[in-house]
């Protein structure tokens, strides 16, 4: 027997939210009958709620069906506005770290360095060190190169004029010309992989986190030595990382309407 609702409980508010949630995960418009089934109500009741929400701008009609409008983002805007980018990214980084069994990070560019704003260690690493707030030279990291590649030409020229190349390993980029060529490749392909340039055996893969044209940061996965070959890394990990980067951007600022 269902629990009795308290005196203050407003059934219409519950039903309104149920109608909106009925569209969750649906790309195609829903008919009155489909919504009625989803919220367990009669067609006339579902129809009244649907047309009311359409009048308020949260739904729009498509023939004899309905679909959400971008205005539904207003409902969660205040909550999202109170979250920082690291807070928003954390659950996504956690899921990706578990899925790939690798350490995941979110970084931003700060002058000549990349700054870790969130980091989730691989489930295989038994340590509590988070490295949040740590810095590394941007030019020799995958996340730094993703962020550098997105700079306007004048800003990139200024950045490269200040770079002091250091010979970390035998594989480290040795000239500004070679670094500039690598950045052009990164800009064209949309991701960066740096293998053993900063430390022997260390490979990092990064993709940019964009919301529209706004660059929020770089998503990075540290790939353990011997885990898989270069081709497998880029073919298997890059698409998944790009999807996670988009999910972070959507959750941080709200999904940008495409219609």
- Judge if 202 and 231 occupy the same domain: yes
- Judge if 204 and 91 occupy the same domain: yes
Neighbours of 20 (CB within 10 A): 17
Residue 240: inside a domain: yes
- Give CA–CA dist 143/245, Å, rounded: 13
Contact 46, 35 (CB under 8 A): yes
The pLDDT assigned to 227 comes to 62
- Judge if 130 and 168 occupy the same domain: yes
Mean pLDDT over the full length of the chain: 84
- Judge if 173 and 89 occupy the same domain: yes
Domain count of the fold of the chain: 2
Q: Which of 116, 117, 112, 161 is nearest to 137 (CA)?
A: 112
The pLDDT assigned to 259 comes to 36
- Judge if 178 and 53 occupy the same domain: no
- Judge if 137 and 21 occupy the same domain: no
Domain containing 217 — which CATH number?
Answer: 3.30.450.40
The pLDDT assigned to 127 comes to 46
Domain end: 68, 100, 117, which one?
68
- Judge if 113 and 206 occupy the same domain: yes
Q: Does position 129 have pLDDT exceeding 80, yes or no?
A: no
- Judge if 243 and 124 occupy the same domain: yes
- Judge if 53 and 98 occupy the same domain: no
- Judge if 98 and 149 occupy the same domain: yes
Residue 2: inside a domain: no
- Judge if 36 and 98 occupy the same domain: no
59-102 confidence digits (pLDDT tens): 999 999 998 887 776 676 555 555 578 888 899 999 999 888 88
Residue 31: inside a domain: yes
List, as own/partner pairs, every contact residues 12-15 make where C-beta atoms lie below 8 angstroms and the sequence separation is at least 24, other chains included. 15/39, 15/41, 15/45, 15/49
Residue 259: inside a domain: no
Residue 46: inside a domain: yes
Domain containing 64 — which CATH number?
Answer: 1.10.10.10
- Judge if 34 and 94 occupy the same domain: no
142-165 confidence digits (pLDDT tens): 999 999 999 999 999 999 999 989
pTM above 0.85, yes or no: no
Give the range of the structural domain holding residue 87, as residue numbers without chain letter: 79-253
Domain end: 68, 89, 116, which one?
68
Contact 137, 205 (CB under 8 A): no
């Amino acid at each position: 027997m269902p629990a009795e609702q308290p005196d203050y409980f407003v059934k219409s508010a519950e039903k309104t939210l149920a109608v909106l949630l009925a569209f969750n995960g649906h790309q195609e418009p829903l008919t009155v009958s489909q919504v009625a089934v989803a919220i367990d109500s009669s067609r006339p009741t579902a129809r009244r709620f649907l047309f009311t929400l359409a009048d308020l701008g949260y739904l729009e009609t498509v023939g004899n069906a309905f679909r959400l409008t971008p205005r539904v983002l207003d409902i969660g805007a205040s909550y999202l506005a109170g979250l920082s980018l690291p807070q928003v990214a954390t659950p996504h980084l956690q899921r990706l770290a578990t899925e790939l069994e690798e350490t995941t990070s979110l970084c931003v560019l700060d002058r000549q360095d990349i700054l870790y704003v969130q980091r989730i260690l691989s489930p295989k690493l038994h340590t509590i060190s988070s490295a949040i707030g740590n810095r590394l030279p941007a030019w020799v990291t995958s996340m730094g190169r993703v962020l550098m590649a997105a700079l306007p030409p004048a800003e990139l020229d200024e950045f490269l004029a200040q770079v002091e190349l250091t010979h970390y390993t035998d594989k480290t980029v040795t000239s500004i010309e070679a670094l500039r060529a690598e950045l052009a490749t990164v800009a064209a392909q949309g991701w960066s992989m740096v293998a053993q340039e900063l430390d022997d055996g260390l490979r990092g893969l990064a993709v940019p986190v964009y919301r529209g044209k706004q660059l929020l940061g770089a998503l990075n996965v540290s790939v353990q030595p011997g885990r898989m070959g270069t081709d497998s890394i880029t073919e298997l990990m890059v698409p998944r990382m790009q999807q996670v980067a988009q999910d972070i951007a959507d959750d941080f600022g709200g999904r940008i309407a495409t219609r």
